[in-house]
Structure 1
């Protein structure tokens, strides 16, 4: 076993004991030119549904940050969040948060179809931004988000928080060390079973009291209100009963590919030191789930990179795991295979390899680390660990999987021009569309 591997084993033993970790962000002595080390960062929350509530709690747990404004188009969300952040002002129009000169940064946890406009307008207003994944609904939107961040010198952190997880950082180090040997295949997956009813088939109806449906739709196509398109189900205690189901409609999101696949593909591209695939193909369909979702219940996307292939698999009609894992990433090299998910890592040597088996379990809050990195970078003006350009590249890869599925074409991707070669149908999905007046 190499000295490098021995050192890594010692690191893992210490990490598992909870007494060591990787430093993210920068020390107080390097805090930069906008805020001093002891200055509080005033934060506005835009979108405070289930995900937004969790992010708000993480911001409030930081000693140098204060939540001073809350924005949501659904009154029950505002009321719940206001009870938690009692000193914060509330708004139904996010633009009023951006108009305030006393706010340094915003955290955006709106539905996916709003991410681009929220972020671009925040950058124009001089705010730093933490924006949930996927970065954008359309690839062209993502590039415009990068341009807005650079043109206005803003710190923009994408919510792919696995990059701030120590177990993923260790997996990336192992892959990049070369210990696994040349890697020709990487698999990513999410498996589950919601057969047969899925999210159900509710009829169109009037919006619930306290919801501005037209504002919720924003740049998306005008549609009658439907509970599944909005997706929010609250109990009497105002707790969410499920993740909002807008994710399963093309107007607002990209199904599991962009909801979960982007997390996994992001780590693959980081570990393998690549920015984009050369080509993408995908097969699948909505075969057996009997609900009104538009996204597939079964999907396999295959990504061709210069010297390896990566697949993303999703099924929601069968929950049989892969070696006991319902989701994850596995790198297959000539010397061994490496599995990683949010709480574990396992290295399995090939027969005859000099590598030794390795496993670890980690309990950590990577969202806390990710928010901490964002706040540190607001002060230092350095790029965060999931900078907007990185988020754009990873989201693009996930979106390309959906484009290949929807067009039934093998996508040849030009990562320099960010266009699909020879397919106007695919490039229409790269560009997307926006409803007036919410245009880019």
Structure 2
């Protein structure tokens, strides 16, 4: 099915939306409460939610998770008046909810977002925006058709130091930039996620619901909480988990929208586990006017010596730019920006279209890696040029009843 046909089945193309504001909902006053529902109550979901509740006049009135321990902790945190659900669809039926925070595994980003937009609720959804490129475009179309504020969790968009770097580069102070290098290094040596056998379900878990649109497989703990992202059915490994932040910042700083071609290489070289995504990967993107090199590895300077928690403080060295900049995590500012936009109906810092374009970069890298092909990208049509095999990875078949999204 062509991308346009797919989108038409889900959401009909809506009217043009202003570049600065969204319509369709009354602007809330500064003292009116924004009532939020949390979908996905794991570590990142609770981290985001706690910061969002710190925003004046934001409150969580419902929580949802299919893993009972997470749901119980979230309910205790949210308070006795908050409703609890195992099925996000029931949460979306609640009329007293203005917005939802979605922090589920990647393969569960698109469907709740689209249904939330249809239900008239604004959405803060964690990165990457979607499991594949076709889902991402569907999310954009849903947000526009239903006039929803949809923000991706790319918190660096709300960070002053990234804005300052963008100013420096775009001002020409460093001259014209023709080569950009970004990277991520972590350490899971030597066993990674291990090789867990299939096993019985944890008590109270609806495994079929967890898999959702993904193919059915027996329960395996490595495909569940925390490590799902290393399997193609649910995530995209290093490139979509860590790389998405770097790609988004690069496109912001370089004022770039999309590459024209992509090549990649890598493999599972260092870890002896059962994961599928590469533990070493290098991706080269050609943009109009510059080259981007991205590299990621699950082995770092600690090597076989293991993983040491903490923050490394390098020596001063020589810097081209000596201006001091704050570099703390910007999630608090990012969730505040979202709540403010729910009230004002302005577009947020990491609007769904921005999130989609940055997530495309990550997905194209994985497609190049998985096929071994040089990918040529038509950004206007959001199509891979003259490569039917690679084009199949722009979307995927979804299990019923989730085929509608």
Q: Say yes or no: TM over 0.5.
A: yes
1:213 aligns with 2:207: yes
Structure 1 residue 392, shift from structure 2 partner: 0.1
- 1:302-328 Cα shifts (integer Å, max 9, x gaps): 00001100111011133379xxxx9xx
Alignment of 1:318-397 (within 5 A): 318-319=300-301, 348-349=319-320, 357-362=321-326, 364-397=328-361
Which residue does the alignment assign to 2:372? 408
> Distance in 2 between the 1:362 and 1:63 partners?
24
1:430 aligns with 2:401: no
Q: Choose the corresponding residue for 1:311, options 282, 293, 300.
A: 293
Structure 1 residue 365, shift from structure 2 partner: 4.1
> Distance in 2 between the 1:348 and 1:415 partners?
36
Quick check: 1:106–1:130 contact (8 Å CA) kept in 2?
yes
Quick check: 2:232–2:277 contact (8 Å CA) kept in 1?
yes
- 1:213-263 Cα shifts (integer Å, max 9, x gaps): 111111111010001000x3xxxxxxxxxxx01010000000010001000
Structure 1 residue 399, shift from structure 2 partner: 0.4
> Distance in 2 between the 1:212 and 1:44 partners?
21
Which residue does the alignment assign to 2:67? 74
SS class of match (2:376): strand
SS class of match (2:295): strand
SS class of match (1:360): coil
Which residue does the alignment assign to 1:139? 133
Q: In proportion to residue count, which structure has more strand?
A: 1
Q: Choose the corresponding residue for 1:169, options 148, 163, 166.
A: 163
Unaligned runs of 5+ in 2: 1-19, 309-313
1:52 aligns with 2:45: yes
> Distance in 1 between the 2:382 and 2:223 partners?
30
> Distance in 1 between the 2:327 and 2:278 partners?
32
Structure 1 residue 60, shift from structure 2 partner: 1.6
> Distance in 2 between the 1:77 and 1:208 partners?
12
Which residue does the alignment assign to 2:84? 90
TM-score of the superposed pair, with normalisation by structure 2: 0.88
> Distance in 1 between the 2:154 and 2:373 partners?
28
> Distance in 2 between the 1:193 and 1:66 partners?
37
Structure 1 residue 38, shift from structure 2 partner: 1.2
Structure 1 residue 166, shift from structure 2 partner: 1.4
1:180 aligns with 2:174: yes
- 1:62-85 Cα shifts (integer Å, max 9, x gaps): 221110000001110010111111
Which residue does the alignment assign to 2:280? 298
1:40 aligns with 2:11: no
1:279 aligns with 2:271: no
Quick check: 2:161–2:327 contact (8 Å CA) kept in 1?
no
> Distance in 1 between the 2:150 and 2:286 partners?
29
Quick check: 1:128–1:155 contact (8 Å CA) kept in 2?
yes
Structure 1 residue 359, shift from structure 2 partner: 4.7
> Distance in 2 between the 1:318 and 1:376 partners?
39
Structure 1 residue 192, shift from structure 2 partner: 2.7
Which residue does the alignment assign to 2:14? none
> Distance in 2 between the 1:382 and 1:129 partners?
13
Unaligned runs of 5+ in 1: 1-25, 27-31, 233-243, 327-342, 350-356
TM-score of the superposed pair, with normalisation by structure 1: 0.81
1:223 aligns with 2:220: no
1:64 aligns with 2:57: yes
- Show structure 1 runs of 4+ deviating over 4 A: none
Which residue does the alignment assign to 1:332? none
Which residue does the alignment assign to 1:262? 244
Quick check: 2:238–2:279 contact (8 Å CA) kept in 1?
no
> Distance in 2 between the 1:320 and 1:206 partners?
35
1:156 aligns with 2:150: yes
